[in-house]
Amino acid sequence: MTASAHRDVAVVGFAQRQMREFDGSPNCIELLVPLLQELWEQTGWTKEDIGFWCSGSSDYLAGRSFSFVTAIDALGAVPPISESHVEMDGAWALYEAWIKIQTGEADTALVYGFGKSSASTLRRTLALQLDPYTLTPLWPDTVSIAGLQARLGIDQGLWSEKEMAEVAARSRTSAASNEYAIRRGETTADDVLAQELFADPLRRWDCAPVTDGAAAIVIAATDALPSADKVSRPAVISGIAHSVDSPSLGLRDLTRAPSAERAGAAAGGASGVADVTVAELHAPFSHQELILRRELGLGGPEDGVQINPSGGALGGNPMFSAGLIRIGEAARRIWSGEADKVLAHATSGAALQQNLVCVMEASKDKTL
Amino acid sequence: MTPPSTAVLHQPLTLEFDYTRSLGPVLSQYMSGLAAKQVLGAVLSDGRVAVPPPEYDPVTHEQISRMRPVSDEGVVVTWSWVAEPLPDQPLDHPFAFALVLLDGADVPLLHAVDAGSPDAIRTGMRVRARWADERVGSVRDLASFEPAADTAPGPVPTGETSGAEGITMTSTPVRLAYDYAASPEESAFGRGLKEGRILAQACPVCHKVYVPPRGACPVDGVPTKDPIELPDTGIVTTFCIVNVPFLGQRITPPYVSAYVLLDGSDIAFLHLILGVDASEVRMGMRVKAVWRPEGERSYSMETISHFEPTGEPDAEYETYRRHL
Q: Could you tell me how many CB contacts below 8 A there are between chain A and chain B? A: 187
Q: What CA–CA distances, in Å, run from B19 to A65, A82, A127, B13, B107?
A: 16, 33, 14, 19, 27
Q: Which residues of chain B does A132 touch, with a Cβ-Cβ cutoff of 8 Å?
A: 19, 21, 172
Quick one: pLDDT at residue A366? Answer: 43
Cβ B231 vs Cβ B263: under 8 Å? yes
- Rounded Cα–Cα distance for residues B284 and A50 (Å): 39
**How far does B308 lie from chain A, in Å, by closest CA?**
30
Quick one: pLDDT at residue B157? Answer: 76
B197 C-beta neighbours (distance < 10 Å), count: 12
Q: What CA–CA distances, in Å, run from A73 to A30, A65, B28, B286?
A: 10, 15, 45, 30
- Rounded Cα–Cα distance for residues A324 and A347 (Å): 10
Provide the pLDDT confidence category of residue B196 given band limits of 50, 70 and 90.
very high
Q: Residues B33, B38, B39, B40: what is their CA dihedral angle, to the nearest 10 degrees?
A: -50
Nearest CA in chain A to B143: A138
Q: Is the pLDDT of residue B321 over 80?
A: yes
pLDDT digits (tens, 9 = 90+) for A5-22: 479 999 999 999 999 999
Q: Are the Cβ atoms of A133 and B181 closer than 8 angstroms? A: no
B113 C-beta neighbours (distance < 10 Å), count: 24
From A133, A146, A155, residue closest to B27, measured CB to CB: A133
- Rounded Cα–Cα distance for residues A346 and B236 (Å): 50
The DSSP letter of residue A191 is H
Cβ A236 vs Cβ A9: under 8 Å? yes
Give percent of chain A with pLDDT exceeding 90. 84
Q: Are the Cβ atoms of B8 and A26 closer than 8 angstroms? A: no
- Rounded Cα–Cα distance for residues A239 and A344 (Å): 11
Interchain contact B154–A (C-beta under 8 A): no
The answer to whether the peptide bond before residue B293 is cis (omega within 30 degrees of 0) is no
pLDDT digits (tens, 9 = 90+) for A203-260: 999 999 999 999 999 999 998 776 645 677 899 999 999 999 999 999 999 999 999 9
Quick one: pLDDT at residue A229? Answer: 52
Interchain contact B24–A (C-beta under 8 A): no
Nearest CA in chain B to A245: B58
Domains and CATH numbers, chain A: 9-121+210-224 (3.40.47.10)
| Model ipTM value | 0.94
- Rounded Cα–Cα distance for residues B230 and A306 (Å): 57
Can you say how many angstroms the Cα of residue A349 is from the centroid of all Cα atoms in its chain?
13
Q: Are the Cβ atoms of A246 and B54 closer than 8 angstroms? A: yes
Interchain contact B285–A (C-beta under 8 A): no
* Cα atoms in the Cβ-side hemisphere of radius 13 Å centred on B265: 27
Quick one: pLDDT at residue B160? Answer: 61
Q: What CA–CA distances, in Å, run from A48 to B27, B106, B219, B220, B262?
A: 51, 57, 12, 11, 32
Those residues with Cβ within 8 angstroms of residue A194's Cβ, 6 or more apart along the chain or in another chain: none
Q: How many residues does chain B have?
A: 324
- Rounded Cα–Cα distance for residues A320 and A349 (Å): 11
Least confident among A259-263, A277-281, B64-68, B159-163: B159-163
pLDDT digits (tens, 9 = 90+) for B201-225: 999 999 999 999 988 898 888 888 7
Q: What is the mean pLDDT of chain B?
A: 92
Q: Is the pLDDT of residue B13 over 60?
A: yes
Quick one: pLDDT at residue A228? Answer: 47
Cβ B119 vs Cβ B129: under 8 Å? no
φ, ψ for residue B57, nearest 5 deg:
-65, 130
Type of residue at A324: L
pLDDT digits (tens, 9 = 90+) for A280-293: 999 999 999 999 99
Closest alpha carbon to B273 in B212, B284, B293: B284
Give percent of chain B with pLDDT exceeding 70. 95
Q: Are the Cβ atoms of B110 and A33 closer than 8 angstroms? A: no
Taking 50 as the pLDDT cut, the residues of chain A under it are: 1-3, 5, 228, 366-368
Cβ B221 vs Cβ B199: under 8 Å? no
Strand partners, B228: B200
